């Protein structure tokens, strides 16, 4: 008999049992891009989500200074309100839909979701399979195959790993165990957890402003090329608009209030966009509002004029910009329905 192998399996099982005795909330680890997706998914699945969830891309993540925003939001929606910034870097409408769905399906769904949308978020027909796979179920694969073609097959390994091995905590929380062990030996700077309202991670670089580093149109287009695929995607992508509609449907189905806000972009980026690019985005959002009756606030209704001094780069607000945007957003929260 392979006694050593059996004993080793016993030791692994003992480790796993030990992990099962640790409160789950203590194991969710918010680290870098990939682990952030898993942290948000786990929080949603474990019913640890906030009452007010901010969803969007990095533009949304950096548009709000959480310690300032939370008291203002509580003033509008109630003293005991919990607020989480669940925006994900590089997130487009596809990943936002999956995240909203995870939150809505959780044991404790949020009361209000604020969805920050920008021109970039509706670009590119092909969903970002790597980003959405951590949130996907088996049943999503045939649905995505039907909607968006064979690219959806790319999700299979991740879905397999996450869903089949999801119960195995040694694997599921390996990032946190890794981090915990590492911190026993070396100093690791605590970068904070944005989803819990900590802005330490963002404020380290939010003080820079665009007017201190002006860019030419060409430089800007080159730098933004990865996210603004002008040549191949000249208008809002149908698939992304469909995901936006599905967000509205999901919130409606679960009785979660939804407010959609447009996130500002710098004037320099607006000028760099091809003709009609921005107006087509505005038309798509207006049509969405008409179709779904979900309240939608264009930038002009929140803060009419931004200067380059309020941008960190061409599309992200800096601290000054966020201090302008956040309070206005808090004021508008009662509009959510």
Angle at 88 between CA 36 and CA 209, to 5 degrees: 120
Residue 5 contacts other proteins per CB under 8 A? yes
Cα–Cα distance, 226 to 207 (Å, whole number): 24
Within 8 A by CB and 6+ apart from 191, the residues are 200, 201
Residue 153 contacts other proteins per CB under 8 A? no
Q: Of 272-291, which residues contact other proteins (CB under 8 A)?
A: none
Q: Of 15-44, which residues contact other proteins (CB under 8 A)?
A: 15
Residue 150 contacts other proteins per CB under 8 A? no
Q: Please pick, from the candidates 17, 22, 153, 171, the single residue that binds other proteins as defined by CB under 8 A.
A: 171
Residue 154 contacts other proteins per CB under 8 A? no
Shortest Cβ 14–other proteins spacing (Å): 9
CB nearer to other proteins: pick between 174 and 276: 174
Q: Please pick, from the candidates 47, 142, 157, 234, the single residue that binds other proteins as defined by CB under 8 A.
A: 157
Given a contact cutoff of 8 angstroms between Cβ atoms, the answer to whether 50 and 64 are in contact is no
In three-state form (DSSP H/G/I as H, E/B as E, the rest C), the secondary structure along 207-271 is CCCHHHCCCCHHHHHHHHCCCCCCCCCCCCCHHHHHHHHHHHHHHHHCCCEEEEEECCCCHHHHH
Residue 3 contacts other proteins per CB under 8 A? yes
Q: Is 117 helix (H, G, I), strand (E, B) or coil?
A: strand
Candidates 8-16, 59-67, 116-124, 202-210; binding stretch for other proteins (CB under 8 A): 8-16
Element containing residue 113 per DSSP (H, E)? strand 112-117
CB nearer to other proteins: pick between 168 and 205: 168
Under the rule (CB under 8 A), what is the footprint of other proteins? Answer: 2-12, 15, 157, 160-161, 170-171, 174, 177-178, 181-182, 185-188
């Amino acid at each position: 008999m392979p006694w050593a192998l059996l004993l080793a399996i016993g030791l692994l099982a003992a480790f796993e049992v030990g992990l099962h005795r640790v409160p789950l909330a203590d194991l969710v680890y918010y680290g870098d891009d990939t682990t952030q997706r898993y942290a948000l998914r786990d929080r949603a699945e474990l019913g640890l989500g906030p009452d007010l969830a901010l969803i969007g891309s990095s533009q949304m993540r950096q548009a709000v200074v959480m310690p300032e925003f939370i008291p203002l939001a509580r003033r509008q929606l109630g003293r005991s309100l919990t607020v989480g910034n669940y925006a994900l870097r590089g997130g487009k409408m596809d990943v936002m839909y999956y995240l909203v769905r995870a939150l809505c399906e959780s044991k404790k769904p949020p009361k209000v979701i604020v969805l920050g949308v920008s021109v970039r978020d509706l670009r590119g027909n092909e969903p970002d399979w790597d980003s959405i796979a951590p949130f996907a179920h088996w049943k999503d694969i045939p649905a995505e195959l039907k909607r968006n073609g064979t690219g959806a097959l790319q999700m299979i390994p991740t879905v397999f790993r996450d869903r089949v091995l999801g119960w195995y905590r040694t694997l599921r929380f390996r990032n946190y165990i890794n981090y915990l062990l590492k911190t026993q030996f070396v100093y690791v700077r605590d970068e904070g957890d944005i989803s819990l309202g900590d802005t330490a991670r963002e404020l380290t670089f939010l003080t820079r402003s665009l007017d201190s580093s002006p860019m030419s149109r060409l430089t800007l287009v080159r730098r933004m090329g990865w996210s603004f695929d002008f040549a191949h995607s000249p208008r809002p992508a149908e698939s992304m608009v469909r995901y936006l509609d599905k967000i509205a449907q999901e919130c409606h189905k679960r009785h979660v209030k939804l407010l959609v806000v447009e996130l500002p972009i710098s004037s320099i980026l607006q000028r760099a966009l091809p003709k009609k690019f921005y107006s087509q985005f505005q038309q798509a959002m207006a049509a969405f509002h008409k179709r779904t009756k979900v309240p939608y606030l264009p930038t002009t209704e929140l803060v009419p004029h931004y200067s380059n001094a309020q941008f960190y780069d061409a599309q992200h607000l800096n601290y000054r910009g966020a201090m302008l945007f956040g309070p206005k957003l808090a004021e508008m929260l009662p509009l959510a329905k």
